[in-house]
Amino acid sequence: MRLAQIIAAAAVCATSFSTVSAGEMADACIAALEAEGRDTSGCTCLEDAVSESAALQEEFQTLGAIADPAERYAAASDEAQAAMDQCTR
């Protein structure tokens, strides 16, 4: 469940920023999850993982179009799944 929450927030956050500045993705992720009453502990980690790679930023933007969290995770590349797994465990 936590993984689905983080990827959903990350996808929403990634679509909000064409390039990720320090703190922006994490702040947006935290705001989105807090508004939904969800755990925000993986947001900074995910921002760090995504901000390292323009390809991951682009991928998360694409993944944001997939409504179902399980489908979104399954559609993610191995690298994106690794980032999500690292930040939610």
pLDDT digits (tens, 9 = 90+) for 12-65: 555 444 444 556 777 767 776 677 677 888 888 888 888 878 898 888 777 767
- Which pLDDT band holds residue 77 (cuts at 50, 70, 90)? very high
pTM exceeding the 0.75 threshold for the entire prediction: no
From first CA to last CA, the distance across the chain in angstroms is: 12
Task: Give the C-alpha distances (Å, rounded to integers) separating 64 from 2, 3, 16.
Answer: 17, 14, 10
In the predicted structure, residue 78 carries a pLDDT above the cut 80: yes
Tokens for 67? Answer: 């409504």
- Nearest-5° angle of CA 45, CA 50, CA 55? 165
| pLDDT score for 1 | 53
